[in-house]
Structure 1
Amino acid sequence: MSWDSYSVSRQLITEPTYLGTNTNFGFKNRSLKDNCVSCLGEAMVTPEYVTFYVCAILVVIITVFGNLLVIMSVCHFRQLHTPTNVLILSLAVADFMVGLFVMPLGFIWMIEACWFFGVSMCAFLNFFAFQLTTASVHNVALIAVDRYLALSNPFLYTKQITVRLTIIVALLTWVFSVGYNFSLLYCNGFFTTSLTLCPNECPVAVSEAWSWVDFVVVFALPCSIMFVLYLKIFAIARRHANAIRAANSQGNPNAKQNDNVPKRSERKAAKVLGILVFVFLLCVVPYYIASVMAEFINSHIFEDILNYTSLILYLNSLFNPIIYALFYPWFQKSMKLILTCRICTTDSSLMQVK
């Protein structure tokens, strides 16, 4: 049994050794011209084997139920119906679907070192993983945009950035993601040719031109937006802190309280969401660096690194609800209300959770 077994990463048709950019649940890429690998033989149930499955089950359960709690909290409590929380809800939906649909199949594939589920499930896994990766990256980029607008121009943000507008933007992001990934897979023969050359594999081939488009759309552009906007957000937060210190030194605490309390709450939200973005980048960037390095350096070392960075990429769906639980008091309170079934009482949606 080996962790560095197979991959559903996007591969070049013209360059079979290419390591694709937007992974599904990827481990070692295999050439489309490689010989088929047999999965026949008895699987030995060892302590290592059992440990892998126990860990996989725990990760799936925490990912699914953690993100489900976030979804229920934002949808149920009216106090949480804010533009920022709409984007958090959209991200939680993507993470929930990763835990529900992608992780179980991917973990079984990793542990068994073989694809048992046939062509239809291969198509299902590929499309959902491509789609959810794109949706997650773009939702996190939208969160960075939201925080920048809230801090750079609070008056404009309050007046023009409404819940309805944010819902429309979030829905358009999902529509774009579905359309983009359908186009990518269709143009590379995913729906018109056989999905697997071998019954125990699940490869996807992507042309060189599409691979660069995918790299820009799914990684370079949204991550650049996050990086630039959070640099500006930190500069704005520092400027606000200097203004507060200046007000204190002038002995006018009342003016500081009246003028800067909303800004202070916005800065706190930006700080927490900054942690979310930072953790997201820590999970995403290593995979793409390994992917690019593996393209130019044909070495099993980079393939092995790609295997583990792929795993970290999808574990981000596990980390997000943990971040909410650690840093958001509203999530802690709403989680207690949900788990104790107090949301079943009359007018529970009007409860104060902030």
Structure 2
Amino acid sequence: MLIQYCYESINRSCEKNGWSNSIKIPMYIFMVGTILTTLAGNLAVIISIAHFKQLHTPTNYLILSMSMVDFMLGSLVMPYSMVRSVENCWYFGEIFCKIHTSTDIMLSTSSIFHLSFISVDKYYAVCDPLRYKSRINVYVILMMIFISWVVPAIFAFTMIFCELNIKGAESYFNQVSCFGGCVVFFSQTSGLVSSMLSFYIPGFVMLCIYGKIYVIARTQARSIAANHIHFQITIGTSQNIPRNRERKAAKTLGIIMGVFIICWSPFFFCTAIDGFLRYAIPRIVVDAFVWIGYLNSTFNPMVYAFFYMWFQRALKMILFGKVFQHDSSRTILYSE
């Protein structure tokens, strides 16, 4: 098969993927569908929280910020990653490659930081409800949002533009690099540090917090069940309410952690060990894991918003154009 290059007239040009259209077209369809779903879902959350005054709460500000991160990932990062993944070529210049890579790492890490802070918010809401409003106020939420944006931005842009990601592996990077490529490369140290900061530490925090929330929610459900024993004869369904709540809490927390771990663990596991394996993991595998990680931003609005009745009602109003009606922003979406 004839080898094609990204730039035929330039020496050391990267090779294009030799896939046929029967492979490329389904890949483009899948990736375009992922991008559009990511944009639509997160835009719906943004419009809902920004438009309806009842949703202007500290917790929802955190969800709004996360949706903005995921929307930017879908609009600013994923389209360029799509061309790179399918064609194995980068046509947008070396400087923009660094900007794209930095933005990719920043937004992906920022999205994970938001998930961790949302777990902290849920912890206080369930485990310390009496002091929740005093502990989790607007200023605390704004600090969480500030950290979720600024820390990943400083980390990502400093690492890429100062080339800290290739420090210690310069010789190997120079051997495998080619003109027209934009591969995210990590040395042993940078891969381990990046994985710890962006995934393992936030993931461990989430796992511990949600585990604690589940235990407390189960204890509260059993306590409510005990208090309702004497009503079982007169109210036959009351004994099922605590168990239903317990199952619903377990299901919700399981989906939250399951989606997060399934989407991001393959990529960050590879990132952490690839340097120690002398980069034996094929690039196509790593690239596939990148897109699986992107899916977390696609699923975030479904996991964190579609479970809420207020979002379902807000979405109906958006789809039917009722948000353009007078005083629609004052619509009561849920009872306090």
Shorter-chain TM-score bucket reads 0.7 to 0.9
RMSD of Structure 2 on Structure 1 (CA): 3.5
Report if aligned partners of 1:131, 1:177 keep a CA contact under 8 Å in 2. yes
Cα distance between partner residues in 1 of 2:271 and 2:194: 13
1:36 alignment counterpart: 12
1:332 alignment counterpart: 312
Report if aligned partners of 1:135, 1:174 keep a CA contact under 8 Å in 2. yes
2:207 alignment counterpart: 227
Question: Is 1:157 paired with 2:132?
Answer: yes
2:88 alignment counterpart: 113
Identify the range of structure 1 (171-180 vs 286-295) with the bigger mean alpha-carbon deviation. 286-295
Within 5 A, what are the aligned runs for 1:1-354?
A: 36-39=12-15, 46-188=21-163, 198-204=178-184, 206=186, 208-251=188-231, 272=252, 275-297=255-277, 304-324=284-304, 326-354=306-334
Runs (4+) of structure 1 exceeding 6 A deviation are 264-270
- What is the CA deviation profile of residues 211-250 of structure 1, one whole-angstrom value per residue up to 9, with x for unaligned ones? 4332321122111101111111110011011101110124
Amino acid at match of 2:86: I
Report if aligned partners of 1:86, 1:166 keep a CA contact under 8 Å in 2. yes
- Tell me the TM-score normalized by structure 2: 0.80
Report if aligned partners of 1:283, 1:313 keep a CA contact under 8 Å in 2. yes
Cα distance between partner residues in 2 of 1:334 and 1:295: 47
Cα distance between partner residues in 2 of 1:189 and 1:325: 37
Cα distance between partner residues in 1 of 2:14 and 2:112: 36
Q: How far is 1:148 from its partner?
A: 0.9
Report if aligned partners of 1:95, 1:317 keep a CA contact under 8 Å in 2. yes
Q: Percent identity among equivalent residues?
A: 34
Cα distance between partner residues in 2 of 1:206 and 1:301: 13
Inter-CA distance 40–144: structure 2 relative to 1 (3 Å threshold): closer
How many residue pairs match? The answer is 311
Cα distance between partner residues in 2 of 1:60 and 1:334: 22
Unmatched runs of 5 consecutive residues or more in structure 1: 7-34, 254-260
Where 1:327 maps in the other structure, the secondary structure is coil
Q: How far is 1:142 from its partner?
A: 0.5
Amino acid at match of 2:300: N
Cα distance between partner residues in 1 of 2:100 and 2:186: 16
Identify the range of structure 1 (341-350 vs 47-56) with the bigger mean alpha-carbon deviation. 47-56
Where 2:228 maps in the other structure, the secondary structure is helix
Cα distance between partner residues in 2 of 1:269 and 1:352: 25
Amino acid at match of 1:96: F
Amino acid at match of 2:148: T
Cα distance between partner residues in 2 of 1:112 and 1:72: 35
Cα distance between partner residues in 1 of 2:162 and 2:39: 32
Identify the range of structure 1 (277-286 vs 222-231) with the bigger mean alpha-carbon deviation. 277-286
Unmatched runs of 5 consecutive residues or more in structure 2: 234-240
Q: How far is 1:197 from its partner?
A: 5.5
Report if aligned partners of 2:38, 2:297 keep a CA contact under 8 Å in 1. yes
Identify the range of structure 1 (139-148 vs 291-300) with the bigger mean alpha-carbon deviation. 291-300
